[in-house]
Amino acid sequence: MPREHIILECTEARGEGKPVSRYMSSRDKRKQPDRVEKKKYNKFLRRHTLHREIKN
């Protein structure tokens, strides 16, 4: 299967001592061989932050 499920984790929350926010997403392995980065809402920081793909 070319699509895989990934977990996105906030990059700014740990530095501020807040709990991390995580999102589930999917990506196409053929079109996106690199790690995925998306701007998502972090409810603990109450703003949109950069979320990066983490290892499973």
pLDDT, one tens digit for every residue, the chain (56 residues): 689 999 999 999 999 999 999 999 999 989 998 999 999 999 999 999 999 999 87
Show the domain range for 24: 3-54
Q: What is the pLDDT of residue 55?
A: 84
What total number of domains does the chain contain?
A: 1
The domain that holds 13 is classified in CATH as 2.20.28.120
Q: Is 54 helix (H, G, I), strand (E, B) or coil?
A: strand
pTM: 0.86
Tokens for 15, please give them: 């530095």
Q: Which of 42, 6, 35, 49 is nearest to 21 (CA)?
A: 42
pLDDT of residue 2: 82
